[in-house]
Structure formats: structure tokens, C-alpha cells
Amino acid sequence: PPPILRHSGGDGRNEGDSEEKQSIWEKIQRNKELVEDIKLYSSSLVLALTVRTFIVEPRYIPSLSMYPTLDIGDQLAVEKVRVVERAGGGEERPCNADQMLGPRNQVTKLVRGFRRGDIVVFRPPETYKEMVSGSLAYAGRNVGKEDLIKRIVAVEGDVVEVREGGKVLLNGKEVNERFIAEAPQYTYGPKEVPTGMVLVLGDNRNRSMDSHIWGFLPVENIIGRAVATYWPPQRIGGL
């Protein structure tokens, strides 16, 4: 008997499936309202992903280290870092970390550059990771992937000191910090902030693991600046 020849397309069921899919797609195309909805949702998704990736990102506060400015459960908008420097002909190009702050600052930002008093979200530096990796208080947590939030108190070139009685001095002058929970019960410095670094502290000074414990923060670790709280409703406002 002659050999049985098998068609590469199978027994016809694939062709039926293809026709059925084609029929569904044709129905969708004929439904103008559905097509418009798909276009709208797709555009909204792309816009939302673009905003989150390049402009503003939502964040949630899990601790009291920034109390009373930020409380547990607060949700806030973080402006993503997009820093550029202008070349001689006005051309914009990416900026080096050591050019982002300090007296040599030649930086433009989409909104503005970092300043003392800014609340920033950042990736923890290596010194922080080393200090908490063996701590029972952080057992079961991936501290290397947990972002932190603190306030910039000093930028590169600043000399910062915390004296007995909770007085904070910046470049020899006492700073009035009305936003803190209580005066710090520790001493620090005086120390000069190195190039490409900032000093960050939590507003809840005596319950915050920050620069006075693990050292200066590299500017390149900063993810963005907290600009506003949007939840809960009674705490909506700018930062």
C-alpha cells in the first residue's frame, strides 16, 4: 500500500481555530466602542508606566523614622532623579554624581537640584547593609533591596556638628529645625561632607538609623525627592 502522507497543517483543527480567532478579532474591530476603550486603556497604561519610570513614583511609609513629617501608612509621590548639566553650547548631557551638589554645582534638574532640607528616597549604602545584615532586628528582611527615606541636612563641603543638648550646627551656625520630633540625644562631628556625598537624618532623630550611625550617603544612591503626600486624605500636602 502507498505510504500515508500527513499534511503539515494537521487534521484541520488548527485551521478551524485560526478561523475562530479571526472571527473574534473581526468582531472586536467592528465594535467601535470596544476598540476605543482598548485604545484608551492602552494609552493610559503606557502613560502610567512612563510617569512611574521617568517622572514620579508612589511610595509607602513603613516606619516612624521620619515622624512627625511622615507617619506609618502615609503614601507619597517621589520625583524621580533626572539630572543634566549644560555643556558650553547649551547641549544637555548626563551629570556626574560629584557635580550634583555643592559649591561647584553647574546642574539643572527637571524641577531643581537637591537642597538641604529635601526629603529623599535612596538605595542604602554598603555601610548600612553591613551594619544591619547580622542584626536580629532585621532578620528575614532583604535589607539590600529596601529603599530608605531621610532628610538631607548637609551637602558636600558643609561642616556639620551635633552638640550636647541637641544643637545642630551647619558651617558653624546653629540650625533651627522645627520639623523634628525631638532634639537629638547624641553628639556628632564636626565633620565635613565629602565630594559626591550628602548627610541625611531622620526627622525622628532618636529613632532613626541614618548618617550619624552609618556615615555619608553617596549622591548616586538617591532615587528621587519626595514632593507630596496623597494619602490618607487628612495628610495630603506638599513636602
Q: How far is CA 29 from the centre of its chain?
A: 41
Q: In a 3-state reduction of DSSP, which class is residue 128?
A: helix
Exposure b/e, 15-33, CB count within 10 A at least 16 = b: eeeeeeeeeeeeeeeeeee
Distance CA 30, CA 42 (A): 18
Which residue carries 478551524 as its cell?
Answer: 16
Q: Choose the catalytic residue: 23, 42, 65, 208.
A: 65
Of 211, 225, 45, the closest CA to residue 124 belongs to 211
- Rounded Cα distance between 86 and 78, Å, is 24
Closest CA to 227 of 79, 74, 87: 79
Identify whether 63 is a catalytic site residue.
no
Instruction: Enumerate the β-bridge partners of residue 108.
Output: 84
List the catalytic residues: 65
